[in-house]
Amino acid sequence: MVNVCAPSAFDHRLALIPGVIAQHGKWQPRKPAIVCGARSTSWGELDAATNRVANGLLAAGCRPGDRLAVLMHGSAEMAEIMFGAMKAGICVVPLNLSVSDAAVVAMIADCRPTALAASDEQCARVDALPVAGVKLKIGVRAPNRNWQQYGSWLADHAPAAPGYAVAPDDHCNIIYSSGTTSLPKGIVHTHRCRYDTAFDLGLALRYHSGAVVLSSLGLYSNISWVALLCTALCGATLVLMPQFSAASLADQIERQRVTHAVFVPLQLQRLLDLEGVRKRDFSSLQTIMVCGSPMGAALKDAVRRLLGCEVIELYGLTEGLVTTLAPEDFDRKLASVGKPLPGIELKLIDDADREVAAGEPGEICGTSRFLMAGYFNRPEATAEATWINSDGARWLRTGDIGRLDEDGFLYIVDRKKDMILSGGQNIYPADIEAIISQRDDVDEVAVIGMKSEQWGETPLAVVVPKAGVELDPQALATWTNERVGRQQRVSNVVLRAALPRNPNGKILKRELRDEYGTK
């Protein structure tokens, strides 16, 4: 007699994203997986296409553990290429399209990819850059023969599952913390980490198999990866918008009957400002996630009233720490960013690494089962971001200052690091400062975040000219903006005779923010 309840060996590959895609391809092959414009790709088609990608990469000499850089607009092809690389055990490195050419070169040099995928005009962009060491270049609507044309290349490879068995600790992806002209930091996630991310956030954000999920940000962003991974785990449908506009966002919600979506606050502010928006039909919406930059209480409330759905604010870091303000707590804790998810623990510590009391400010540190593996090839940066608690456990230092109220809800007070959040994008002042400091007529420079109704924050450069030099602030701003990424552009330049410093000579950016940041 067979004991049907007897335990058996479990294939761990089924509990990783590549295995989940294969299961959806088998059990719901005709259900839409990805919708982008007029194209709809079913789960069966996605499974077959990702197998072809995996087999093509392996046939070209790419090996498990290698990296694939991706420079593409959001599309079904981009999702196919990224998921296909995952099936081959190849680490996906999606790059932000809006950064400068120098930043693209720096990130490609840092991750050293053996393969690179790009779309139309990005192919020409890459051709003009000093990129070396790439075995395979795949182009979607590529303009020349330097690239394998994606459609024909895909057709050359078998739709059968690749022979490689992905392991939980294999590197799944690298997402860069910023697109910069200095050496960026690549955040490494394993396959186990990404499955756990999808599981935990899918529950918190209330995804389900019937969800129609809208992503209106580029698939280089970890915010978009939340939508991508949670949709994959649930076997739902992902609607991709290659370019964002408030009008097209409203159209997509109505036309596709979207139930779930991910946004940064700026996008929702633009939707609120759209002419005639209150006459649009958003009745299909069930739950949206908002993250990427602080969201004021008034905006939270206005968005909920307009959309008539659950609004979940998420505070988190790509490195692997998350809190959410759940709809049930929305009204009574509107100014907070909620509590950590189950499986995530937070502590607030002072400068001596001692835990602070409720109501007291401290650096936010946390641990979770989906913490990053580390920064790619940056052990010193990984060590700097690590706090070892009294039990010897590894925790992540966020660099953010927060406080916990008596009910355990987290409030963001300040940023220990000087990062600027503009339109949901991380901007590091040191990168802009490095550009301006190249000029012979600049003695000192400090870049701070200035409040902006449109962007949340925008960079302001505070400059001390060299003695005897007369600087034109507008001309300096123009010069700077020609040399940085689009989202790093300074909104203004102000001139000073000196920068405030502490007794040790460190520039006091808090004083500069107090003086200029609220204007």
What CATH number corresponds to the domain at position 32? 3.40.50.980
Q: Rounded to whole angstroms, how far apart are CA atoms 308 and 280? A: 12
Residue 45 lies in a domain: yes
pLDDT at 183 over 70: no
Q: pTM of the prediction?
A: 0.82
Q: Rounded to whole angstroms, how far apart are CA atoms 22 and 85? A: 14
pLDDT at 63 over 50: yes
pLDDT at 278 over 50: yes
pLDDT at 343 over 90: no
Kindly indicate the confidence band of residue 13, based on its pLDDT and cuts at 50, 70 and 90: low
Residue 38 lies in a domain: yes
Residue 282 lies in a domain: no
Q: Rounded to whole angstroms, how far apart are CA atoms 202 and 238? A: 14
Residue 289 lies in a domain: no
Q: Rounded to whole angstroms, how far apart are CA atoms 247 and 253? A: 10
Q: Rounded to whole angstroms, how far apart are CA atoms 293 and 452? A: 12
- Report the pLDDT averaged over residues 371-389: 93
pLDDT value at residue 518: 55
Domains contained in the chain, number: 3
- Report the pLDDT averaged over residues 286-307: 88
- Report the pLDDT averaged over residues 60-81: 96
Q: Are residues 354 and 407 in the same domain?
A: yes
Q: Are residues 498 and 365 in the same domain?
A: no
pLDDT at 181 over 50: no
Please tell me whether residue 447 adopts helix, strand or coil conformation.
strand
Q: Are residues 77 and 105 in the same domain?
A: yes
Q: Are residues 377 and 424 in the same domain?
A: no
Residue 302 lies in a domain: no
Give the residue, 43 or 391, on which the prediction is more confident.
43
- Report the pLDDT averaged over residues 374-402: 90
pLDDT at 8 over 60: no
The neighbouring-strand residues paired with 325 are: 313
Residue 485 lies in a domain: yes
- 79 near 152, Cβ under 8 Å? no
Q: Are residues 374 and 424 in the same domain?
A: no
pLDDT value at residue 503: 42
Q: Are residues 403 and 438 in the same domain?
A: no
Task: Tell which of 386, 415, 444 closes a domain.
Answer: 415
Task: Tell which of 415, 444, 463 closes a domain.
Answer: 415
Q: Are residues 362 and 504 in the same domain?
A: no
Residue 76 lies in a domain: yes
Q: Are residues 476 and 376 in the same domain?
A: no
pLDDT at 469 over 70: yes
Percent of the chain whose pLDDT exceeds 70: 93
DSSP annotation of 341 reads P
Which tokens sit at 398?
């966020």
Q: Are residues 42 and 164 in the same domain?
A: yes
The CATH number that applies at residue 392 is: 2.30.38.10
pLDDT value at residue 452: 84
pLDDT at 248 over 60: yes
Kindly indicate the confidence band of residue 486, based on its pLDDT and cuts at 50, 70 and 90: confident
Which tokens sit at 106?
């720096």
Task: Tell which of 364, 396, 415 closes a domain.
Answer: 415
The CATH number that applies at residue 463 is: 3.30.300.30
- 185 near 111, Cβ under 8 Å? no
Q: In what order do the strands lie in the sheet with 321-325?
A: 39-42, 32-36, 237-240, 212-215, 260-263, 287-290, 310-317, 321-325, 339-340
Q: Are residues 359 and 447 in the same domain?
A: no
pLDDT at 505 over 60: no
The neighbouring-strand residues paired with 317 are: 321
For residue 518, the one-letter residue type is T
- Average pLDDT of the chain is 90
Q: Rounded to whole angstroms, how far apart are CA atoms 347 and 366? A: 6
pLDDT value at residue 180: 34
What domain range is 362 assigned to?
A: 319-415
Q: Are residues 439 and 359 in the same domain?
A: no
Kindly indicate the confidence band of residue 424, based on its pLDDT and cuts at 50, 70 and 90: confident
Among 55, 296, 82, smallest CA distance to 174 is for 82
pLDDT value at residue 433: 87
Please tell me whether residue 458 adopts helix, strand or coil conformation.
strand
Q: Are residues 375 and 484 in the same domain?
A: no
Residue 280 lies in a domain: no
pLDDT at 457 over 90: no
Among 291, 283, 294, 237, smallest CA distance to 456 is for 294
